[in-house]
Amino acid sequence: MNEEYDVIVLGTGLTECILSGIMSVNGKKVLHMDRNPYYGGESASITPLEDLYKRFKIPGAPPASMGRGRDWNVDLIPKFLMANGQLVKMLLYTEVTRYLDFKVTEGSFVYKGGKIYKVPSTEAEALASSLMGLFEKRRFRKFLVYVANFDEKDSRTFEGVDPKKTPMREVYKKFDLGQDVIDFTGHALALYRTDDYLDEPCCETINRIKLYSESLARYGKSPYLYPLYGLGELPQGFARLSAIYGGTYMLNKPIGEIIVENGRVVGVKSEGEIARCKQLICDPSYVKDRVEKVGQVIRVICILSHPIKNTSDASSCQIIIPQNQVNRKSDIYVCMISSAHNVAAQGKYIAIVSTTVETKEPEKEIRPALELLEPIEQKFVSISDLLVPKDLGTESQIFISRAYDATTHFETTCDDIKDIYKRMTGSEFDFEEMKRKKNDIYGED
């Protein structure tokens, strides 16, 4: 370990593993360490079930009705992958897909007036949906056609809208969309957690709706994918990539201290040895003095013996509870997966509820979501701080990832990865570049 590395990475969360994979592909000498004996850090999948009980300090062993402990892989952080999103591109370009199998999530649902409705995924579904009336459907269809044709490089598609100036509120007005349709569009399609976006320029929202539609177009049922055996498979896939390109991995490695000289990182001390480096990447838990808290997220893992009511017995789904429906500022999400994804014992379902904490009683805030899941066999509640770096790392060359937020997919995580990459290398993250570098080593297929 007493060696010189270009980059040392601490923590094997998804952000860290993708960055160490990319840095290794770029020819950097990488040492990757984690104080835990397992991969994944905050974004791990816990197995066997006994370990989840211990982690949440639930007394006793899981009851026999839960089946074999080894059949469980329970995600600590609930997220899906957008089929046409950035993480899927990273997986495809690095060919990490060869280590993973995915299933399409069976449906996305939205909460309105105490009931849940399927988010229409085809035109026929949209016409049959009881989410909106007939005239609203026509207006909504016009709006979707506008979004599909919209191209920020071609002003002929703008129809009088300035993508960099016109707020989204005005665009909704232009198509005369009602409040329910606006809620549904902003929260179930553009996947915003709050309503702040209404007064922002509309370009970002239109692109988010396009991402949703394009992701949906790939597989039809819903825009989301989920890996068999749980999300913990993702960091491990990228760790393999790093190892193929010469990255060194050490799990179960206590980190003594990060050594800084004249304001710059020079190495990491562990068990009396020092590994030297030019740059360091880590998650917030390794540098508590260099991060600040900007909020909290509550997540409740619920084990069920039945599919969620009114979802046509889906073996996987997402439910979005828009904030307006429950008098909140931010949405509540439910991600549900089951034994069909090799993450639970036969006949069992895992539903994870999450949202941004807004009051002193976070468990009360998520009650509307828990009511949709009753009866619940076992609950595991966690409240995590949303930690972000205090500075950009330009001086110290210590680059810290952001804690995982309450969003239901990995787009914000990928933004963080691209942002750290740019600060570390001085150049924009380029998917094509990643592909070319791989081909240099492996040759074309």
- Helix then strand then coil, in percent of the chain rounded to 5, is 40, 25, 35
- At 411, the amino acid letter reads E
Beta strands in 81-235 (DSSP E): 81-82, 102-104, 108-112, 115-118, 224-227
Provide mean pLDDT across the span 319-338: 95
Report helix, strand or coil for 119.
Answer: coil
Residue 383's DSSP bridge partners are: 298
pLDDT tens across 364-417, in order?
Answer: 999 999 999 999 999 999 999 999 999 999 999 999 999 999 888 998 999 999
Give the pair of three-digit tokens for residue 85. 């999103």
The number of beta carbons lying within 10 Å of the beta carbon of residue 95 is 15
CATH architecture, domain defined by 119-218: Orthogonal Bundle (1.10)
- H/E run at residue 236: helix 233-244
Q: Which residues contact 435 (CB under 8 A, 6 or more apart)?
A: 93
For residues 71 and 45, what is the distance between their CA atoms, to the nearest angstrom?
12
Q: Directed axis angle between helix 431-442 and helix 14-25, to 10°?
A: 50
For residues 312 and 331, what is the distance between their CA atoms, to the nearest angstrom?
23
CATH level 3 topology of 4-42+232-292+389-442: FAD/NAD(P)-binding domain (3.50.50)
pTM: 0.91
Q: What is the reported pLDDT for 436?
A: 65
Q: What is the reported pLDDT for 308?
A: 97
- At 232, the amino acid letter reads G
The full set of domain ranges for the chain reads: 4-42+232-292+389-442, 49-106+293-386, 119-218
pLDDT band at 207 (very low <50, low <70, confident <90, very high): very high
C-alpha distances out from residue 89 to 85, 102, 115, 430, 431, Å: 7, 14, 35, 11, 8
Let me know if domain 49-106+293-386 sits in CATH 3.30.519.10.
yes
Q: What is the reported pLDDT for 141?
A: 86
- HSE on the CB side for 238, CA within 13 Å? 26
Provide mean pLDDT across the span 280-295: 97
Q: Is 119-218 the same fold as 49-106+293-386?
A: no
